[in-house]
Structure 1
């Protein structure tokens, strides 16, 4: 009788985040810990790492040292992988500091190993916002001194050519920073070198004029603005207006936009309060992140309903949210902070749009959300939310979209979270609690009842338990178990990468797209998120 060559037999899928099968360490709470290979550990750490900030179990210095060591290893062993990962980390996963630090540390490691190809491109690929060239140079000089290698200078210079516009100079080029725009130009000399497709290519004569003016201005504040720089000319005219006449300009918001006046600069320019008239004038020029961040301020200033309606339309626009790359938990933070209910529906829509990758899984799904004490450390120092909130957002979204799902929160104990078909995601989030410790294995054992898959959203720092070697050990090996790691600690709570045991990570929904790929068995191996 055939045992293996039978109808319905399929190749067993594997997934990219791979760990050892037999644990060699311990989680921070004492359970057997499964170490991962360098790329897997780096991936999980990078997609959740706010560089320079403590996590619940790791001090920032220890965490950053581990990050640097992993980058150095991978940069020397597999730079092609790193060159694909870092742009994805910046653009799709929405991380800012981690890819910049990783690119610079990768260049340092590669130069130390005598490897020179592709280093400039690594640096340029992660600098996507106009303040990041200055951030990159400041990081290098603070860590390694003022001797900056040519690949770093030229990579930064390539980004400056791409990002160097009048508006960006006005918004991000303040001489009040440690490294101002003039300093960046003096260090990197963008456009002055030959030898690549990017070097030496100004966007136009106006950019040549902008760079020349920017270099002069710190030493000659009265230097004339070149005629080609229309934004700076208009801004200079507004700055020259008597303070008593400036509020008249609020009646013409287009004048503010064309002069590059941002919402951050408007109050200082007016030298007065940001009242309803001021917000009404500047709102058309604001990006969606700034809009979401200022909903409370709009209400406190008494912004008219018609203006609020236009704000709500932008927040609820799926394309606007897609381009913003905002983390889903940002919308929960805004919902918790905004006093007016008029923002509830657009924020609900924005939250759903930001979770576009969450699949509608068929069959029965068990979703377990970690609400232990370690999950209540903040995602970042500037964030109003913690990893427990992020876990609740992702777990609830998955449960609401699944064909049939049981949603459970766990810690020391465990309890079901009610989910009614068709109800608001924000409403479900109000039912979560703090649950103490991290008894993951018991939560899985007690709630698994023949489900088709199990999803655990956690930091993986499980208690050492008496039932089974690891949480996924409570589920038959034929049933897929997906761990979504939100913290990136060294040791995981179980094996992953093969045998229906898979680990993803990150603070965005990007990882979810791998679940249906694995279950469809399109290939024997599901690749990294940027490969699918």
Structure 2
């Protein structure tokens, strides 16, 4: 995640992240009316990118306003600093795990550089290819481009998508993602970008032809005879409807579903009747861990057996599965809130703990302040989630406190109060002690609770209504580090950046790793290496 090394405001195009400028008579205000500080463009874009789900409305900005600000910043920096911008977009889709933001950003990158006649830096083709990491994303990028910029798709976009198609199109990905609900099916993508098969994948030519047939001649499309997965899938789908449930739930049903690449969504659409316990138990062995996580309530409602539930619990709480899923820690809290059955509580707590494995055990005394103001409760972490930023902030604040050598955990709004916790207790138990505290008065909270701590960390959306001219860090001695973890990516900042004053962004635990690097005297930098030209 981001930590911003600090240079003068004049050094806007220097290699590293920039600094915020000090306020003057024309200074901006926070959305709540407090004094604000202008961010350097790269810092503003980074925080917006990692704190934003595209088209998501927030307390202070509409989805359209945030999207416009995001694409404008990408377009400006694609021309002014293409190496940095290409690195950001690649990192967003990779370690940052932000699918839509990276795709929208890559399109804006190419559009701006073509309009400016810009040829230097990472190529447009390579940037498009770098953000496409799942087989449905070539079609999603084309759908976005044609809806926003028109039907004329430039050659660099086509070539970048074709590179990704050769990497991503397989029999299994075709079964999972080539569905009628997509604006651009696999066959549409192939028609538009004219991707040739990868010479190292001799089976891919037949797969491409089948994808085209599925799109244009679905009634007569026949999978390649040499492809066992596609043929097993076809055999399942061609079963008479009255036989399907008996075959799926009978002996060997789970193995047939796995061999035929049948997802739970496809099975639910093809069964004659509901997804009962027997149907779920047949498909659960072949479900991915995140699909299991999203369906815990459905398993309970269908009456899945305790034996099968125990296997589900073991998978979703396995440290390796959690690491491979690359899901944000708040996903496990959301699952816990959505499926409150006692049999999921312990495995979800373990999964949450695994997802926070990189949170450091900070030495000395740490003051952690968690924003519980109204705007944090109004905003959810995504349009598809009911989990608020307030709860996401509390997850990270509590986890950091539990890991620290000695910590004071504080919730704040108009007022503030310490949140008690005991070493080793579950994060989910600590979360029950947080409250809603109205408006935002960050500086007052810092002043009330800072007692010669070795560092201060504030988890917030930065939209304070009142604080001192120097921001919330004003009561803290200049030599003591103050870290702001911004969860929302709003434009105004609540305090200046400078020596020992740092801003992070997003909802992963990566930012916490930077705290130790800074305090060890290492050189902090953007979390990606330079992109090749």
Task: Indicate the TM-score class for this superposition, using the shorter chain for normalisation.
Answer: over 0.9
Q: Aligned residue for 1:205?
A: 202
Unaligned stretches of 5+ residues in structure 1: 1-11, 192-199
The 3 A distance-change label for structure 1 pair 350 and 18 is farther
Match of 1:137 among 142, 147, 155: 142
1:529 offset after TM fit, Å? 2.3
**What pairs with 1:276-355 in structure 2 (closer than 5 Å)?**
276-355=277-356
Between stretches 264-273 and 502-511, larger displacement belongs to: 264-273
Are the counterparts in 1 of residues 128 and 157 from structure 2 also a CA contact under 8 Å? yes
Aligned residues: 509
In the alignment, what sits opposite 2:521? 521
How far residue 203 of structure 1 moved from its aligned partner, in angstroms, is 4.9
The CA distance in 1 between the partners of 2:276 and 2:81, in whole Å, is 54
Give matches, 1:314-463, under 5 Å.
Answer: 314-376=315-377, 377-463=379-465
Q: State yes or no: 1:65 paired with 2:62.
A: no
Inter-partner Cα distance in structure 1 for 2:39 and 2:444: 24
SS in 2 for 1:407: strand
Post-superposition CA distance 1:384-443 (Å, at most 9, x none): 201111100110111000011111111111111111111110000111111100011101
Secondary structure at 1:52 match in 2? coil
| Counterparts of 2:149 and 2:244, CA distance in 1 | 46
- Tell me the TM-score normalised to structure 1 length: 0.93
- For 2:54, the equivalent position in structure 1 comes to 51
CA-based RMSD: 1.7
1:177-223 alpha-carbon deviations (Å, 9 max, x no partner) = 222111111011111xxxxxxxx525523211111111123332213
Superimposed CA distance per residue, residues 283-305 of structure 1 (whole angstroms, 9 cap, x where no aligned partner): 11111111111111111212122
- CA, structure 1 residues 233+413, in 2 after alignment: closer, same or farther (shift >3 Å)? same
Q: Which residue number in structure 2 is paired with residue 473 of structure 1?
A: 474
Q: Deviations over 1:332-353 (max 9, x none)?
A: 1111121321111111111111
Structure 2 equivalent of residue 177 of structure 1: 182
Aligned mates of 2:182, 2:424 — CA distance in 1 = 49
Q: Which residue of 1 aligns with 2:21?
A: 20
Q: Would the alpha carbon gap of residues 87 and 226 (structure 1) be closer, same or farther in structure 2, given more than 3 Å must change?
A: same
Structure 2 gap ranges (5+)? 7-15
> Is 1:507–2:512 an aligned residue pair?
no
Taking the aligned partners of 1:70 and 1:79, their CA distance within structure 2 comes to 12
Question: 1:209-228 to 2 correspondence within 5 Å?
Answer: 209-220=206-217, 221-228=219-226
Give the Cα separation in 1 of the matches to 2:346 and 2:354.
12
Q: 2:83 aligns with which of 76, 80, 84?
A: 80
Q: 1:29 aligns with which of 29, 32, 47?
A: 32
Match of 1:196 in 2: none
Tell me what 1:147 maps to. Answer: 152
Asked if the contact 1:161–1:202 (Cα under 8 Å) also holds between the matched residues in 2, the reply is: no
Bigger mean CA offset, 266-275 vs 424-433? 266-275
Partner of 2:124: 119
Q: CA deviation at 1:162?
A: 1.0
**8 A contact 2:198–2:204 mirrored in 1:** no
Asked if the contact 1:468/1:474 (under 8 Å) is kept, the reply is: no
**What residue number does 2:12 align with?**
none
Q: In structure 2, what is the Cα distance between the partners aligned to 1:68 and 1:290?
A: 31
Cα distance, 1:495 vs structure 2: 1.1
